[in-house]
């Protein structure tokens, strides 16, 4: 058998006891077996973990890296939205492209092979962000599959012209439509409009939702109702839902069962949620994070994602998803192996399911999208923040990171 590349003795997350060889031809995986005999360039993985890549289900490329342009004193959500709204007026397409490229390249070298980026659409910024991100999608297809989610950060029904622009973005190739009911003067009407547009263009939905700590009411109820009414189960995601951090485990389990029945996925954004929530408290500041691993146990598809990088929503970020999983494990007080393993799944197979990504996973016939980690087990990879060493995207090497060398005396 003639091959382009043979990866020898790798360990897959789903079967860490068995070492396998993976044969690659024309950008695809053509064989997986304990020992493959073939004439081909080979790379010995020496028992290291090989995965189909990290999957970033929620990031904002268009507003990343603007920290120095924004005033941030209080560190609240309202301040972050207002300060980015003001900075956004001077965005140009070239500026958004350059910042987005920097962030995207950071994600690639941290082992991310698929990503959903939200992009703001409104009469102030128009389609500048959308156009810049569409170019990034095309220019970086050699390293990463990018889904573009168009959404109105500053409201829809209260912002004349926003809906027309959103529809234009859908006509011009938005993969997903997003919403942000908490900034709308008529949240339920926004939810209804978003479902309507999604049905018209046959695309999935990804809401920013219930982003505060008051559990006495939730927009989640309306999203569940509309998901059922539109029969859109399996195609709806809600991000943040920090209200779920303010309820007890029995109510959380009941909501989890409802979300699982409706087919609504949940994305938790640990860095942003931790940074913005509980700003009214001086002592015993709440963590403000939905317990994704508990929702997972109720059958909900859950993911952990980066959200913002170097802006007033999150003034940090290296785009490492393994770091995000580790951060979540810290905040959620996770230590058991099976829960750490769940954290690993929430940055790999589960966000792939959430994004309805085709052909994700290490299997014969799938694209050779493969990332090798300096680790031998998924739970340890999360606990020890395992470094990604190199990646292949459709069989072609997309980055290499050299291991550190210790210079003994």
Contact residues for Zn ion, defined by CB under 5 A: 307
* Closest distance to Zn ion from the beta carbon of 274 (Å): 14
* Closest distance to Zn ion from the beta carbon of 269 (Å): 6
* Closest distance to Zn ion from the beta carbon of 151 (Å): 8
* Closest distance to Zn ion from the beta carbon of 282 (Å): 27
User: Rounded to an integer, what distance in angstroms lies between the CA atom of residue 299 and that of residue 196?
Assistant: 27
User: Rounded to an integer, what distance in angstroms lies between the CA atom of residue 100 and that of residue 104?
Assistant: 6
Orientation angle between helical segments 93-109 and 128-139, nearest 10 degrees = 40
CB of 145 or CB of 273, closer to Zn ion: 273
User: Which residues have a Cβ under 8 Å from the Cβ of 44 and sit 6 or more positions away?
Assistant: 8, 9
Radius of gyration (Cα) for the chain, nearest Å? 21
Looking at beta carbons, which residue is closest to Zn ion? Answer: 307
In the chain, DSSP finds a helix count (H) and a strand count (E) of 13, 16
* Closest distance to Zn ion from the beta carbon of 116 (Å): 10
* Closest distance to Zn ion from the beta carbon of 358 (Å): 24
Strands (E), 2-65: 5-12, 15-25, 28-33, 42-44, 49-51, 54-59
Q: Which two tokens stand for residue 270?
A: 């640990």
User: Rounded to an integer, what distance in angstroms lies between the CA atom of residue 45 and that of residue 24?
Assistant: 15
User: Rounded to an integer, what distance in angstroms lies between the CA atom of residue 239 and that of residue 180?
Assistant: 10
Q: Which two tokens stand for residue 374?
A: 């300096």
CB of 62 or CB of 339, closer to Zn ion: 62
CB of 307 or CB of 348, closer to Zn ion: 307
The angle formed by the CA atoms of residues 355, 357 and 361, to the nearest 5 degrees, is 125
* Closest distance to Zn ion from the beta carbon of 307 (Å): 5
Do the Cβ atoms of 66 and 84 come closer than 8 Å? yes
The SS3 assignment for 5 reads strand
CB of 108 or CB of 149, closer to Zn ion: 149
User: Rounded to an integer, what distance in angstroms lies between the CA atom of residue 99 and that of residue 123?
Assistant: 21
User: Rounded to an integer, what distance in angstroms lies between the CA atom of residue 348 and that of residue 339?
Assistant: 14
CB of 241 or CB of 340, closer to Zn ion: 241
Look up residue 183 and give its DSSP letter. G
CB of 288 or CB of 367, closer to Zn ion: 288
User: Rounded to an integer, what distance in angstroms lies between the CA atom of residue 159 and that of residue 63?
Assistant: 20
* Closest distance to Zn ion from the beta carbon of 226 (Å): 20
Q: Count the neighbouring beta carbons within 10 Å of the beta carbon of residue 376.
A: 15
CB of 226 or CB of 307, closer to Zn ion: 307
CB of 53 or CB of 239, closer to Zn ion: 239
Closest CA to 24 of 405, 395, 321: 395
* Closest distance to Zn ion from the beta carbon of 115 (Å): 13
CB of 308 or CB of 380, closer to Zn ion: 308
Relative to beta strand 5-12, strand 15-25 is: antiparallel
- Label each residue of 231-249 as H, E or C: CCCCCEEEEECHHHHHCCH
* Closest distance to Zn ion from the beta carbon of 80 (Å): 11
């Amino acid at each position: 058998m003639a091959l382009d590349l043979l990866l020898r003795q790798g360990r897959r997350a789903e079967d860490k006891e068995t070492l396998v060889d993976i044969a690659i031809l024309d950008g695809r995986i053509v064989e997986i077996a304990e020992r493959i005999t073939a004439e081909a360039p080979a790379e010995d993985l020496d028992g290291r973990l090989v995965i189909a890549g990290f999957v970033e289900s929620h990031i904002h490329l268009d507003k990343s890296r603007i920290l120095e342009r924004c005033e941030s004193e209080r560190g609240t959500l309202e301040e972050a939205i207002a300060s980015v709204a003001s900075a956004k007026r001077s965005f140009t397409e070239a500026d958004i492209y350059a910042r987005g490229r920097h962030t995207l390249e950071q994600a690639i070298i941290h082992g991310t092979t698929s990503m959903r980026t939200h992009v703001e659409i409104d009469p102030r910024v128009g389609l500048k962000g959308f156009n810049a991100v569409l170019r990034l999608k095309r220019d970086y297809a050699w390293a990463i599959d990018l889904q573009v989610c168009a959404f109105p950060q500053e409201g829809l029904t209260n912002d004349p012209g926003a809906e027309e622009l959103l529809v234009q973005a859908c006509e011009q190739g938005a993969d997903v439509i997003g919403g942000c009911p908490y900034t709308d003067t008529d949240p339920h009407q926004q939810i209804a409009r978003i479902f309507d547009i999604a049905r018209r263009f046959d695309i999935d939905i990804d809401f920013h939702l219930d982003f505060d700590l008051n559990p006495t009411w939730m927009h989640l109820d309306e999203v569940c109702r509309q998901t059922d009414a539109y029969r859109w189960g399996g195609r709806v995601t809600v991000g943040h839902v920090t209200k779920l951090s303010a309820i007890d485990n029995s109510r959380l389990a009941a909501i989890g069962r409802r979300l699982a029945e409706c087919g609504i996925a949940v994305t938790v954004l640990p860095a942003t949620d931790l940074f913005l929530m509980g700003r009214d408290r001086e002592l015993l500041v709440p963590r403000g994070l939905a317990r994704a691993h508990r929702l997972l146990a109720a059958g909900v598809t859950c993911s952990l994602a980066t959200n913002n990088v170097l802006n007033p929503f999150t003034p940090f970020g290296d785009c490492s998803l393994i770091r995000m999983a580790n951060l979540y494990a810290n905040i959620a007080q996770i230590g058991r192996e099976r829960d750490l393993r769940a954290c690993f799944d929430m940055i790999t197979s589960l966000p792939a399911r959430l994004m309805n990504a085709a052909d994700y996973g290490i299997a014969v016939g799938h694209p050779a999208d493969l990332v090798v980690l300096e680790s031998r087990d998924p739970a340890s990879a999360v606990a020890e923040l395992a470094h990604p060493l190199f990646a292949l995207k459709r069989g072609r090497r997309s980055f290499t990171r050299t291991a550190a060398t210790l210079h003994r005396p």
